[in-house]
Amino acid sequence: MKISPLIFLPLMIIGLYCSKNNEREKMRKQFDDYFKALNEHEIEKILSFLSDDFQLHFTEYDFKIDKNGLVDVLGWDKGVNGVVSYENLEVAGDCIKGIFTERNEFFKLLDIQELKATITYKFDNSRLIVKQIYAPLPNQPSFQENMQPAIDWASTNRPDELNEIYPDNQMQFNQEMAERWVALLKEWRKATQAERK
What one-character-per-residue DSSP string does 119-155 give? EEEEE-TTS-EEEEEEEEPTT---HHHHHHHHHHHHH
Residue 110, Cβ density class (10 Å: 0-12 exposed, 13-18 middle, ≥19 buried): buried
CB contact set of 72 (below 8 Å; sequence gap of 6+): 173, 174, 175
Q: Which domain holds residue 92?
A: 12-140
pTM of the model: 0.85
Identify the band that residue 22 occupies on the pLDDT scale cut at 50, 70 and 90.
confident
Instruction: For residue 122, tell me if it sits in a domain.
Output: yes
The 10s digit of each residue's pLDDT in 86-117 is 999 999 889 999 999 999 999 999 999 999 99
Instruction: For residue 169, tell me if it sits in a domain.
Output: no
Instruction: For residue 105, tell me if it sits in a domain.
Output: yes
Going from the C-alpha of 73 to that of each of 5, 49, 187, the distances in angstroms are 55, 16, 24
Going from the C-alpha of 20 to that of each of 7, 17, 59, 62, 116, the distances in angstroms are 22, 5, 30, 33, 30
Q: Cβ distance 146 to 110 under 8 Å?
A: yes
pLDDT at 14 over 90: no
* Identity of the residue numbered 152: D
Percentage of residues in the chain having pLDDT higher than 70: 87
Instruction: For residue 124, tell me if it sits in a domain.
Output: yes
Q: How far apart are alpha carbons 66 and 56 in whole angstroms?
A: 6
Instruction: For residue 151, tell me if it sits in a domain.
Output: no
Listed residue (96, 105, 100, 103) closest to 185, CA to CA: 105
Provide the number of structural domains found in the chain.
1
Range in 9-18, 47-56, 91-100, 143-152 the model is least confident about: 9-18
Residue 90 maps to which CATH number? 3.10.450.50
Rounded to an integer, the average pLDDT of 150-159 is 97
- Bigger pLDDT: 157 or 6? 157
pLDDT of residue 197: 56
67 phi-psi bin (left φ>0, alpha ψ -120 to 50, beta other): alpha
Instruction: For residue 76, tell me if it sits in a domain.
Output: yes
Q: How far apart are alpha carbons 115 and 188 in whole angstroms?
A: 22
Q: How far apart are alpha carbons 165 and 149 in whole angstroms?
A: 16
pLDDT at 30 over 60: yes
Listed residue (175, 156, 172) closest to 164, CA to CA: 172
Calculate the CA dihedral of residues 148, 153, 157, 162 and round it to 10 degrees.
Answer: -10
Instruction: For residue 100, tell me if it sits in a domain.
Output: yes
Instruction: For residue 84, tell me if it sits in a domain.
Output: yes
Listed residue (78, 126, 137, 111) closest to 189, CA to CA: 111
If you average pLDDT over every residue of the chain, what do you get? 89
The 10s digit of each residue's pLDDT in 183-192 is 999 999 999 9
